[in-house]
Copies of this chain bind each other. A is one copy, B any other.
């Protein structure tokens, strides 16, 4: 019986598993892009404070990386400083915005308008970053409201909406038990970018439709909290803090 179970397990897992799409990269990888986005925010603040130029070690201090990394990152997107004068904030800022695509519209759609989904829809911070939530989608008729400023539409309207509005990025905030099903609908609609708030490990299938250009990011809050507990606990026991038991040396 055990043998059978274990053969079944193998087959099932192999069938379920989907290929991972390799994110082809020039010489700018995701880690760099994330840092660039953080430099951009610091630069905006500095500009609003009236500063003109900035040194790599300033940006490093503000973002928690070494000056050498800042210089290397900026160099990777062809941003040049002046040998003793640092980087011009204004020019750097513009180049970063262009590289990161902040000059284009960033319209996203929320799929799954439960509590978290609706909370994100009214999240004011996005506007400041140029991200615009243009619609929500849900199967539940009770939350649908086609005439609201940000309309909440039925799931059936997803495909036509994202085509007509050229939506590229979707935020997936459905319950875990609906994750795979709804994700398949999102994939079928041709969406190449998904921010996954469920704790299901979704993956883009290796179909022709999104052969290499599809990306999914995961925001797994439960996993993050778990990890925090683990780290706090281990740090604590490493420094030998909470357990009052003394070292039994003498005796």
Interface positions of A (Cβ within 8 A of B): 2, 5-6, 8-10, 12-14, 16-18, 20-21, 23-24, 26, 28, 30, 33-34, 37-38, 41, 46, 49-55, 58, 61-64, 86, 100-102, 104, 106, 108, 114-116, 118-120, 122-126, 129, 131, 163, 166, 168-169, 171, 175-176, 190, 192-195, 199, 201, 203, 208-215, 217, 219, 221-239, 241, 243-245, 247-248
Bound Cα distance from A26 to B230, whole angstroms: 13
Bound Cα distance from A116 to B215, whole angstroms: 25
Is A225 a contact partner of B2 (Cβ separation < 8 A)? no
Q: Name A195's contact: one of B9, B221, B243 (CB within 8 Å).
A: B221
Q: Name A53's contact: one of B2, B102, B114 (CB within 8 Å).
A: B2
Is A201 a contact partner of B13 (Cβ separation < 8 A)? no
Is B24 a contact partner of A231 (Cβ separation < 8 A)? no
- Give min CB distance, A5 to chain B, whole Å: 5
- Give min CB distance, A38 to chain B, whole Å: 7
**Can you pick out 20 interface pairs between chain A and chain B where the beta carbons lie within 8 Å of each other?**
A6-B86, A9-B49, A9-B51, A9-B58, A10-B58, A14-B61, A24-B238, A28-B234, A38-B223, A100-B226, A123-B221, A125-B199, A129-B199, A168-B229, A169-B232, A190-B244, A190-B247, A208-B247, A215-B228, A219-B219
Q: Name A244's contact: one of B54, B192, B221, B247 (CB within 8 Å).
A: B192
- Give min CB distance, A94 to chain B, whole Å: 16
Is B115 a contact partner of A119 (Cβ separation < 8 A)? yes
Given A23-B231, A101-B230, check contact A211 B225 (CB 8 Å).
no
| Copies of this chain | 2
Is B175 a contact partner of A124 (Cβ separation < 8 A)? yes
Is B62 a contact partner of A13 (Cβ separation < 8 A)? yes
Q: Name A6's contact: one of B53, B163, B219, B245 (CB within 8 Å).
A: B53
- Give min CB distance, A236 to chain B, whole Å: 5
Which residues of chain B are within 8 angstroms of A208 by Cβ–Cβ distance? 247-248
Which residues of chain B are within 8 angstroms of A166 by Cβ–Cβ distance? 243
Which residues of chain B are within 8 angstroms of A119 by Cβ–Cβ distance? 114-116, 118-119
